[in-house]
């Protein structure tokens, strides 16, 4: 963990440095990520209201107890994540793990900002763009529901060579279903739990598809269609977007930011 301070603080009319308010920070995140353009199954934006003025932002993947406790220890005023607290289909009861997390945030006055699909999709700072950058892939086209999937030209001898490259880049084991040993010229990817995008990736002309998870049907699709499937870890594939977006907004406002990676083998 390390703090990085912004370099261009905003000034009030009398020339004094001015930290953003909770609502000003929300406006900056919304302007960058444009959540109104997505059909999502989670509320995007400010999920939990904390103190009004924000001096420090912590970013992370999931608003777990461990990450919230780390944000408390770091004396953060705001937490920016990909996986927030509220999802479609929840019972609405504030019990168990939800009560624990909410209690910590409210007790310490920490604002929780969470963006799901908008954070995946941003063309520069999003999870998919940042994952592609990490893997040395430059997106040339998009596919799948809401155009979240990315497709790029590549040059790998075979799927196992690609899998080794991904393992080294992400420091995470890869499950690779490789139906043949031919060269990989077109790679598709979509971070997180994007198993359902595999058929769209095949239709888009991919030789290999990279995502975070694999379900039982995908192994059969891979073998039957002759397209490699690589599952590199849900968390491992989504470690980069939240940090990139929060750093950008923190720099805009001239406030401190740090990314805290809570280990998750999934």
Structural domain includes residue 8:
no
CA dist 209 and 225 (Å) reads: 12
Taking 3-state DSSP, the helix, strand and coil percentages for the chain, each rounded to the nearest 5, stand at 40, 20, 40
CA dist 92 and 265 (Å) reads: 28
Contact by Cβ (8 Å): 155, 266: no
Do 106 and 178 fall within a single domain? no
Do 201 and 106 fall within a single domain? no
The answer for residues whose C-beta is within 8 angstroms of residue 26's C-beta and 6 or more apart is 45, 46, 113
Do 134 and 206 fall within a single domain? yes
Do 166 and 232 fall within a single domain? yes
Structural domain includes residue 266:
no
Do 150 and 219 fall within a single domain? yes
Cα–Cα distances in angstroms (integers) from residue 130 to residues 53, 133, 249, in the given order: 29, 5, 16
Question: Where in the chain does DSSP place strands (E)?
Answer: 45-48, 56-62, 78-83, 111-114, 141-143, 149-156, 175-177, 184-189, 208-211, 228-231, 256-259
Tokens of 53: 């003025």
Contact by Cβ (8 Å): 148, 138: no
Do 132 and 210 fall within a single domain? yes
Do 155 and 87 fall within a single domain? no
| Residue 199 CA, distance from chain mean position | 22
Q: 167: number of CA atoms within 13 Å, CB side?
A: 10
For residue 11, the model assigns a pLDDT of: 38
Structural domain includes residue 27:
yes
Structural domain includes residue 36:
yes
266 residues of the chain, pLDDT tens digit each: 444 544 333 433 444 457 999 999 999 999 999 999 999 999 999 999 999 999 999 999 999 999 999 999 999 999 999 999 999 999 989 999 999 999 999 999 999 999 999 999 999 999 999 999 999 999 999 999 999 999 999 999 999 999 999 999 999 999 999 987 899 999 999 999 999 999 999 999 999 999 999 999 999 999 999 999 999 999 999 999 999 999 999 999 999 999 999 999 99
For residue 180, the model assigns a pLDDT of: 78
CA dist 222 and 202 (Å) reads: 9
Contact by Cβ (8 Å): 226, 194: no
Beta partners for residue 59, in sequence order: 80, 259
For residue 12, the model assigns a pLDDT of: 38
Domain that holds residue 29: 22-120+240-259
Structural domain includes residue 104:
yes
Tokens of 192: 């997180």
Do 33 and 112 fall within a single domain? yes
What CATH number should be reported for the domain holding residue 54?
3.40.1390.30
Structural domain includes residue 250:
yes
Do 81 and 157 fall within a single domain? no
Structural domain includes residue 265:
no
Do 137 and 232 fall within a single domain? yes
| pTM for the model | 0.93
| Residue 14 CA, distance from chain mean position | 38
3-state secondary structure of 10: coil
Do 233 and 134 fall within a single domain? yes
Domain tally, the chain: 2
For residue 4, the model assigns a pLDDT of: 56
Do 94 and 156 fall within a single domain? no
Structural domain includes residue 5:
no
């Amino acid at each position: 963990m390390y703090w990085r301070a912004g370099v261009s603080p905003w000034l009030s009319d009398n020339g004094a440095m001015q930290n953003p308010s909770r609502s000003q920070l929300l406006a900056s995140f919304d302007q960058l990520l444009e959540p109104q353009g997505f059909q999502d199954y989670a509320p995007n934006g400010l999920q939990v209201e904390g103190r009004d003025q924000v001096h420090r932002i912590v970013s992370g993947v999931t608003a777990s107890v461990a990450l919230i406790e780390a944000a408390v220890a770091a004396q953060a005023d705001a937490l920016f994540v990909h996986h927030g607290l509220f999802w479609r289909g929840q019972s609405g009861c504030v019990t168990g793990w939800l009560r624990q997390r909410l209690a910590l945030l409210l007790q310490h006055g920490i604002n929780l900002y969470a963006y799901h699909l908008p954070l995946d999709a941003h063309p520069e700072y999003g999870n998919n763009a940042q994952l592609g950058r990490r893997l040395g892939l430059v997106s040339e086209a998009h596919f799948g529901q809401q155009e979240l999937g990315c497709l790029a030209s590549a040059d790998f001898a075979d799927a196992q060579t690609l899998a080794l490259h991904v393992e080294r880049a992400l420091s995470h084991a890869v499950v690779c279903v490789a139906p043949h040993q031919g060269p990989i010229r077109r790679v598709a990817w979509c971070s997180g739990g994007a198993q359902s995008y595999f058929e769209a990736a095949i239709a888009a002309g991919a030789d290999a598809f990279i995502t975070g998870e694999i379900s039982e049907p995908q192994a059969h699709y891979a073998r039957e269609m002759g397209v490699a499937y690589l599952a590199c870890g849900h968390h491992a594939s989504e470690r980069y977007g939240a940090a990139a977006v929060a750093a950008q907004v923190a720099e805009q406002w001239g406030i401190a930011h740090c990314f805290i990676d809570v280990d998750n083998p999934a």
